[in-house]
Chains A and B, each alone.
Chain A
Amino acid sequence: MALLNSSHGGKILAKGNEALAQGAIDAGCRYFFGYPITPQNEVTNYMSRAMVEAGGVFLQAESEVAAINMVYGAAAAGKRAMTASSSPGISLKQEGISYIAGAELPCVIVNIVRGGPGLGNIAPAQTDYWQATRGGGHGDYRTLVLAPWSVQELYNLMGDAFDLADRYRSPVLVLADAVLGQMMEPIEVTQSPIDPESLPTPPWATTGAQGRPKNIVNSLYIIPEEQEVVCNRLEARYREAAQRDMHWETHGDDDAEIALVAYGTSARVCRSALEEAAGLGLRAQLLRPITLFPFPTDVVAALAERVRALLVVEMSLGQMVEDVRLAVNGRCPVEFFGRTGGMVPTPGEVTEAIRAIAVGEPSMVRKL
């Protein structure tokens, strides 16, 4: 395995898992705690060499549970820390993620989603959307969620993820899948890497009470009034993130009567479908949320005012579609097409779904 040398400039052919790992190192992360699981193993393997060569800490933990708690410790010490896993492993991390959210610590967690439930398989899926965007563990919290759709974006969003984690003192999830993790694409590194020494030590970090009162990192608030204050503080941060840090993009025809909503790999499929559909004289647009939480609710609502129908495409039986329906709130019909279990929709299937809606037979979408 060749290490991605981002200092050379120009384009590099990179595997998604390795690109995100290098993206984290270039974002100033020097603490990686991992555990083997397919299809994210290249992250752990890459880190075992690259993180050490960058002067950081790579530790293969005894479990996903331990790995996320090591992240908790390094984050409490004021450092940029991360872990990466895939669906079953992310389930195991949920306890730790809840504690990290409750203790108001920043960290980054990557989920290279695979098919499920249970052990499922190692094929690409988007079946962890609910777990990612609803918090995932116990308690009244959310995690900020970023959804890349290319190897380039996997690299770029790692920097954004660490910035958001620091800004909102919150765990940030990068939600990709086996396609994005395993595929190779050319990427370009345009920004110089962050020197971790240039990152300030947060005032709340437990680094030893030298010349200041002691700090406590804690998620226990035995007085309900105090716990409510904390939850309200988290909620205020999520609201601020929705104002400042919600990202999405659109592709295709702004005057289209049909709009697709998809993220990650299924958005890539939809973009190909837009071209196929255009060839058939079908005009459609794609809205791609990049932040899944906060979800671009107002953008979807505005879109629903303009188009005849929305088509949500996912690699699941329909999870993000619930957020879309909440945003649309009856303004227009919302159709859904998905494949699950590790299956990826084809552009042809999506094009057929667009055609069915265009000809006024949306019920055909459900029979695809």
Chain B
Amino acid sequence: MESTTSRPAALADIRMHYCPGCTHGIIHRLVGEVIDELGILQRTIGVCPVGCAVFAYDYFNCDMIQAAHGRAPAVATGVKRALPDRVVFAYQGDGDLASIGAAEIIHAAARGEKISVIFANNAVYGMTLGQMAPTTLLGQRTSTTPFGRDPELAGYPIRVAEMLATLDGPAYISRVAVTSPRNVNQAKRAIKQAFESQLHDEGFSLIEVISTCPTQWGLSPVDACRWAEENMLPQFPLGEFVTRPGNRGSRSPAETQA
């Protein structure tokens, strides 16, 4: 049996700032393992968000850029256009990607930008004291929905994977979870497929990762995983939403004009 106790070379050997039980550590590790397995550490550039993962530039051993809130897909676009033979990924949370950065993610996806986005969705703003996120569930109590999210006041949660799947630019979109060993293994396969899709120049890829926030949810790490599975997965079903290998090559400008 393969030992998984060693640290991926793509992850720095330093203490992370994440709260106990936070699933960012798992997601970081999965990204790190994928970078290792693909042998792309020295040609990968990561873009980290504003939010809990803001310090991710210290945790990955590849070149890293810290972006303004929500702008990681635009920054990643600039990097990828400048260095098309490198691997560029953005790592974003739900407030960063689905709220303040909604325009940037939609248009990066629509352009078929050859970047991979890791989207951690835990239905809450973790770093800023647990406010409502665009993915907060109806009825979910947060620090700014103290009576539970009421759609009359605060609208409805956004299904990012499904929304982006309506576009023609994405080559691979999948929603996974890191709430159980089985889900974690599936999440890694999806992340690897996203990076492979980029390596094959297929187009935009995004992995939405259902994750937890024990601190702001007020639950133990184990209960938080159970809560995510029971409450988030019905709203955010797991699965692949776009699998279009060779997507970008399928419609040439000439064909479109005709």
State yes or no: do A and B come from one complex.
yes
Q: Residues of A with Cβ closer than 8 Å to B?
A: 31, 33, 57, 59, 61-63, 65-67, 69-79, 81, 95-96, 99, 103, 206-211, 214-220
**Also in contact, A77 and B82, with CB within 8 A (given A69-B68, A220-B54):** yes
Quick one: closest B residue to A100, CB to CB? B68
List 29 A-B pairs, Cβ < 8 Å.
Answer: A57-B81, A62-B103, A62-B106, A65-B74, A69-B67, A69-B104, A70-B74, A70-B78, A70-B81, A71-B78, A72-B67, A72-B75, A73-B65, A73-B75, A74-B81, A75-B78, A76-B65, A78-B82, A81-B78, A206-B79, A208-B43, A209-B42, A214-B62, A215-B63, A216-B57, A216-B58, A218-B64, A220-B54, A220-B55
Q: Are A81's CB and B82's CB within 8 A?
A: yes
For B76, the closest partner residue in chain A by CB is A73
Residue contact B82 to A217, C-beta cutoff 8 Å: no
Report the minimal beta-carbon distance from A222 to chain B, rounded to whole angstroms. Answer: 8
Whether a CB of chain A sits under 8 angstroms from the CB of B77 is yes
Interface centre among B42, B68, B86 (most CB of A within 10 A): B68
Say if the beta carbon of B30 comes within 8 Å of chain A: no
Closest to B83 in A: A77
Contacting pair B63 A69 (CB below 8 A) = no
Q: Contact: A207 with B107, CB < 8 Å?
A: no
B81 touches A96 (CB 8 A): no
| B145 close to A (CB within 8 Å) | no
Residues of B71-119 contacting chain A, CB below 8 A: 71, 74-83, 86, 103-104, 106-107
With a CB–CB cut-off of 8 A, which chain A residues contact B42?
Answer: 208-211
Known: A31-B81, A69-B75, A76-B75. 16 other contacts (CB 8 A): A31-B82, A62-B107, A66-B107, A70-B77, A70-B78, A72-B65, A72-B67, A73-B82, A74-B81, A75-B78, A78-B82, A206-B63, A209-B61, A214-B61, A218-B57, A220-B66
Residue of A nearest to B111 (CB): A59
Partner of B66, one of A61, A208, A217: A217
Q: Which residue of A lies closest to B80 (CB)?
A: A73
Query: Is B225 interfacial (CB 8 A cutoff)?
Result: no
Q: How many residues of B contact A (CB 8 A)?
A: 34
Given A57-B81, A62-B104, A206-B79: A217 and B74 within 8 A (CB)? Answer: no
Residues of B within 8 A of A33 (CB): 78
User: Does the CB pair B57–A73 fall under 8 Å?
Assistant: no
Residue from B55, B77, B107 with most neighbouring chain A CB atoms (10 Å): B77
Least CB separation from B68: chain A residue: A99
Q: Which 3 A-B pairs have the closest CB atoms?
A: A73-B78, A69-B74, A62-B107
Instruction: Name the B residues within 8 Å of A61 (CB-CB).
Output: 74, 107
Q: Which of B57, B71, B83 contacts A208 (CB 8 A)?
A: B83
Interface residue B123 (Cβ < 8 Å from any Cβ of A): no
Residues of B within 8 A of A209 (CB): 41-42, 61-63
Indicate whether B215 reaches chain A with its CB closer than 8 angstroms.
no
Contacts of A218 in B (CB 8 A): 57, 64-66
Interface pair B74/A73, CB less than 8 Å apart: yes
Q: Within the complex, which residue of A57, A66, A81, A219 is in contact with B103, where a contact is CB–CB below 8 Å?
A: A66
Which residues on the B side are within 8 Å of A99 (C-beta)?
67-68
List the A side residues contacting B83 at CB < 8 Å: 77, 207-208
Q: Which has the most chain A C-beta neighbours within 10 Å: B58, B68, B78? A: B78
